[in-house]
Structure 1
Amino acid sequence: MPRYLSLVRIQENTIDIEDADAGFQERMGALFEEITKAGVMLDTAGLKPTAEATRLTWSDGKVGSTDGPFTETKEVVGGYALMRCKDKAEALEWSRRFLEVHPKHWTVGVELREIEEMPEREGEG
């Protein structure tokens, strides 16, 4: 079965977990329990703020680095989920359900990408 990476996109400075409604944590916990029991969720986590991040770039044969926060960026990856689903439709359904548990006044997006599986090399597997 294919694996999918769900990149959770947020506007970092506009979302505060303290601003969530009272049922948010319970809804999220119930969804994570369901998706885990279904054997779909392989890994998930939120990410620390971009103020604690560093970007590395390769240009003109050199590696450069920039420490966060990245003020030119409006939307950042705030978390991820690694899922194994039967097809893209199933991955999209879980992603839709994930978005729906969030407070209505938040803006949260998901970029869903199928992971390109590497062919097995001789002697592996």
Structure 2
Amino acid sequence: MRFMIMVKASPDTEAGAMPEEGLIAAMAEYHEALARAGVLLDASGLKPSAQGWRVRYDGERRSVVDGPFAEAKELIAGYTLIRVGSREEALDWALRFPNPAVDGGAAEIEVRPLYELEDFEPGDAIERFRELGVGAVQA
């Protein structure tokens, strides 16, 4: 089972504040533990939403909306992607995640399972994704 641990953005992360050495060290230690356990798939921080954009759909029509976006608490500042055997194992790892707040204060992470190809009805389109090597459970 794959899970994404999402670090919620804050006014600090949206302003581009970089974490101090202590937080970077705590994050490195945590991710090293994930790697040693063989469950780390990927992890990265995201630059502020001012450097991004959204694509809005209205039927077949698309429009681009440049950042920044309001409500920092609804944005994602970073993520860690893990593959574990159960929801309980994912919860255990999530509880060990260092406080991601730049100032050491209030922060929030969100953890959600990813869909696996096995969650969908078999079909040609699902097989196309399987051939791409995405969304599949891999040993």
Give the structure-2-normalised TM-score: 0.72
Distance across 2 between alignment mates of 1:45 and 1:113: 16
CA distance in 1, matches of 2:66, 2:5: 25
Other-structure match for 2:77: 78
Of structures 1 and 2, the one scoring higher in RCO (CA 8 A, sep 6+) is 1
Paired residues for 1:95-114 under 5 Å: 95-100=94-99, 105-114=104-113
Q: In the alignment, is the contact (CA less than 8 A) between 1:3 and 1:114 conserved in 2?
A: yes
Kept in 2: contact 1:99–1:109 (CA 8 A)? no
Whose helix fraction is larger, Structure 1's or Structure 2's? 2
Q: Which amino acid aligns with 1:74?
A: A
Are 2:79 and 1:55 equivalent residues in the alignment? no
Alpha-carbon distance in 2 for matches of 1:38, 1:102? 25
Secondary structure, counterpart of 2:72 in structure 1: coil
Query: Per-residue deviation at 1:108?
Result: 2.2
Cα deviation, residue 35, structure 1: 0.8
**1:121 is matched with which residue: 122, 127, 131?**
127
Contact 1:27 1:101 in 2 (8 A): no
The whole-number CA distance in structure 1 between the counterparts of 2:68 and 2:28 is 30
Which range moves more in the overlay, 22-31 or 2-11? 22-31
Distance (whole Å) between structure 1 residues aligned to residue 65 and residue 29 of structure 2: 38
Alignment partner of 1:14 out of 12, 15, 20? 12
- State whether structure 2 residue 44 is matched by structure 1 residue 38: no
Deviation of 1:103 after TM superposition, in Å, equals 6.4
Identity of aligned residues (%): 29
Query: How far 1:73 sits from its partner (Å)?
Result: 2.1
Which residues of structure 1 form unaligned runs of 5+? none
- 1:83-94 mapped onto 2 (5 Å cutoff): 83-94=82-93
Quote the RMSD (CA, aligned, Å).
2.6
AA at the equivalent of 2:116: E
Tell me how many residue pairs correspond in the alignment: 120
Retained in 1: the 8 A contact 2:43–2:80? yes
Rounded Cα–Cα distance in structure 2 between residues aligned with 1:26 and 1:105: 14
